[in-house]
Structure 1
Amino acid sequence: MSRKIRLLIVEDEPAIRTGLVDLFVFHGYQVECAEDGREGLRLALSGRYDLLLLDVMLPGVNGFDICAQVREQDREQPIIMLTAKSADEDVIQGLSLGADDYVAKPFSVAQLVLRVQAVLRRARVSGEVENRIRLGDTVELDCRNLSGRCGDQEHAFTRREMELLQYLHANAERPVSRDELLTRVWGYARNLDLETRTVDIHIAKLRRKIEPDATNPRYLVTVRGAGYRLLVE
């Protein structure tokens, strides 16, 4: 018998926490939860979970700090943030710290389950992709070790950032749309209606790491009306 997927939910609102636990237990997950940030951080750093579901606003230690500290220890740990619907800055900050995705409150439980499944699916996939990527004379990426160099600067990458670069590199002959990236890199179903800035925020993060000038991209360019393209010189 295969082991159950282990999920950690860190949420301080009792009704939401109980509802999430019941939801994912119903879907066959092994679920643990924490009601405050300090306990959530302690559990998250244990490395026992297949995915972390973190609320942003938590007593003790907030979700951003938990995400940042987990990323310092493990750049591949799947993380989804729960954010207030009106707080767009929460979305940007969470993804900038290395979260794989975010879900805005109030959320559809069906969409939340689909997003969790998609992040877990991508975490399990290991396709035939390049392990080293070179862009011009200044950028060299080590995909296996999630590291890279742009000129004299060394950078660490998250698993999702590197998967995005690998997919764009494999399709460098053409622009790739946001919808295609959400399907092929994030693992979302094609018919899932999503309102998300996940792709754009990840592109902005990557430009700050691989571009000599992030405001004037040389390698990771926007093709108006078509998506993004990685130019391999």
Structure 2
Amino acid sequence: MSRQQPPRLLLLAQDDADDPLEPHLATGGFLVERCLAPETAEELLGSDPRLDLMVVTRELSEDQLRGLCAAAAAVNPPVPLLLLSSREPVRALEAGADAVLPPPHGHAEVLARCRALVRRRQLLRPQSTVLRCGPIAMVVEEHEVRRDGRPVKLSPREFRLLRFLLEHQRRIWHREELLRLVWGECEGPALDPKTVDVHIRWLRLKLEDDPARPRLICTVRGRGYRLG
């Protein structure tokens, strides 16, 4: 029996709520997230690492299209953008769209093009990097953390701090070092070093059996923190 593929997340920029394209894509195996404003689509492209494809059915200005294409291209690997529009295809492709389908187009044709674009993106996706320590496993490219096989929801900063500690296990890090290396040269020096303590406490609450007696993220008195 073949293993069923998980649904691919598709961002649909559409302004017609009565358009049957959305349910057709859902029936075809896509998990569809619909948005109205191009600005919202740009934000989602930059914040949701699960996105596999973007389909645009609404009319956009030249600047809006270029902005969406730039946001899609900034993701690693880039999120392909399919434009369903009467816009001149050459100009749309030059603006950064990956494919253009002018009307008339059937839903079956749109679905087939979506699947082809997702397959092409999968070939560009790097091999997953898995970092482990005890019961913790982090799949870096998927931005996923599991403890004993169960998903753990982390904030972006918690994820970055945990990733750093997983990549440098057994080494002791001072709070000031973590501020500089995890928060960054610009942001870190302006923060109270106790910011690190707060984020360590949050990680322990989510990852440790007994956060009051941590065994994964340890405190080395007078020196700093160590994972493992």
- The TM tier, using the shorter chain, reads 0.3 to 0.5
Output the TM-score relative to the length of structure 2.
0.46
Output the TM-score relative to the length of structure 1.
0.45
Point out the structure with max Rg over C-alpha: 2
